[in-house]
Amino acid sequence: MAEPQPLFDYTGYLPECPTWSEAEQASTGLISWNVKFTATIIRSGEHQVLQFPEEVGCFALREKGGFIVALRSGIWLTDTHGLLRRKVCDNPSNPELARFNDGGTDRDGRFYAGTFWGPGDYNGALLMRVDNDLQPKVIQCDIHGANGLAFSADRRWMYTSDTPNAVIYRTPLDEQGEPGRREVFRRFQPGEGIPDGAAIDVEGCYWSAMFDGWRIARFSPQGEELESYRCRYVARRWSASAGRI
């Protein structure tokens, strides 16, 4: 069994949302954002820090340059230097109690961002989507901590995880990409770890970084665990993302 290896040396607080830039692949590797007030771009082994006024939960690349970022209080468009240019919407959760967490884009370039309910007293978080015309829409509720966003290659399924509740969901999508009723894909027992960041591979299998489980697990489209890789690094699995907003 192969042992996971780090791609580069990096020290930071809770690195999140690693993203591959197809347009800059010759000069840019992974883009990894730090949710505690900074963003880090790794270019040929060098780190560039972009300062933000608030925590950054997730982001995506924009087709014409710059980013769309989910800050604690709301979602913004920025330029390539991370300067805030246009506010898209407020955080539909209470920003004092819920910050944005995981997110990304679907194949049509729509941006998804989920929140994490800080108090932990009930499932007060949600998952929202920003369409190509920049219209925001809440698409799922009854979540404690939104995570693990991924889409099947045939565009039929959206996968998400709720990390504190130790569950992975999948949601059917219609031809327009609108979600139906979510269903449980996999639940986890104490000792297995809880599902964090995720990605879908070319065979349609779902990879999940199992927080507190010290492993990365691969699941079939039917939810069967196929492989498990022990990992001493607390890290997320990367997911491809390139928005058209």
User: In this predicted model, what pLDDT tens digit does every residue of 55-77 receive, in sequence order?
Assistant: 888 889 898 888 999 999 999 99
Asked if 233 and 65 touch (Cβ cutoff 8 Å), the reply is no
For the chain, the straight-line distance linking the first and the last C-alpha, in angstroms and rounded, comes to 40
Which residues belong to the annotated binding site for substrate? 99, 101
> In which residue are the tokens 């007030």 written?
37
> In which residue are the tokens 């449980």 written?
184
Residues 6 or more apart whose Cβ sits within 8 Å of residue 135: none
Domain of 110, CATH number, reads 2.120.10.30
Q: Residues for the chain: how many in total? A: 245
pTM of the model: 0.88
Please report whether residue 154 resides in a domain.
Answer: yes
Which domain covers residue 51, as residue numbers? 15-230
pLDDT value of position 159: 98
Please report whether residue 153 resides in a domain.
Answer: yes
Please identify which of the residues 79, 196, 201, 212 carries the catalytic annotation: 196
Which residues belong to the annotated binding site for a divalent metal cation? 16, 147, 196
Please report whether residue 236 resides in a domain.
Answer: no
**Known catalytic membership, residue 79:** no
Residues 6 or more apart whose Cβ sits within 8 Å of residue 29: 7, 8, 20, 42, 43, 44
Please report whether residue 5 resides in a domain.
Answer: no
Q: Is 239's pLDDT higher than 50?
A: no
Which residues belong to the annotated binding site? 16, 99, 101, 147, 196
> What tens digit of pLDDT does each residue of 112-125 get?
999 999 999 999 99
CA distance 226 to 172: 22
Total domains in the chain come to 1
Q: Is 86's pLDDT higher than 50?
A: yes
CA distance 41 to 30: 7
Q: Is 240's pLDDT higher than 50?
A: no
Mean pLDDT of 7-21: 69
pLDDT value of position 54: 86
Please report whether residue 215 resides in a domain.
Answer: yes
> In which residue are the tokens 């049509």 written?
108
